[in-house]
Amino acid sequence: MPENAREPGAALKQAEELYRIHVHAQTGATSVAAGHVHMHPGVSGAAQGRGASHYHRLWGATTYNEGHFHTYNGQTGPAELLGDGYHTHYFRFDTSYNEGHDHVLAGFVEPVREMPG
């Protein structure tokens, strides 16, 4: 038996820690601007905050299209609970302004279980 298994609440503490460090995949197409779109694949940062009020940072670069790319740096909204212990987050923010335009990133990150098990 692991040493910390004898501590009261050790299993709950471990589950809370696993929950806190989870991440979400995210991908999609930007809004149309200047006659084109970009893809924005990525993985969020670790959860910030606790419970349903936690959020994630999203940052990265779009695909290279029409001779340029855009960077982005934003955060999700709070957790939106789904069935079977899963949750997701909505996000919406603008990319960097390049080549005379920017794009909007909006959508939901990939759902993950609330408490990994």
Whether the per-residue pLDDT at 117 is higher than 50: the answer is: no
- If you write DSSP's letter for every residue of the chain in order, what string do you get? --GGGGSTTHHHHHHHHHHHT---EE--B---BTTB--B--EEPPPPBSSGGG-B-EEEEE---BTTB--EEEEE--S-EE-GGGEEE-EEEEE---BTTB--EEEEEPPPEESS--
* Phi and psi, residue 106, nearest 5°: -155, 145
28 token code pair: 């999609």
Indicate the domain borders of the chain. Answer: 3-113
- 96: its two tokens: 């960097």
Reported as a single tens digit per residue, the pLDDT across 10-54 is 766 665 665 668 999 999 999 999 999 999 999 999 999 887 789
Q: Distance (Å, rounded) from C-alpha 28 to C-alpha 71?
A: 14
Assess whether pLDDT exceeds 50 at residue 87: yes
Distance of alpha carbon 61 from alpha carbon 80, whole angstroms: 25
At 71 the pLDDT is 98
Q: Is the pLDDT of residue 1 over 60?
A: no
pLDDT at residue 8 in the model: 66
What is the rounded CA–CA span in Å between residue 112 and residue 7?
Answer: 28
Residue 104, pLDDT score? 99
Q: What does the pLDDT look like over 88-106, one tens digit per residue? A: 999 999 999 999 999 999 9
The 10s digit of each residue's pLDDT in 40-50 is 999 999 999 88
pLDDT computed for residue 14 by the predictor: 61
pLDDT of residue 6: 62
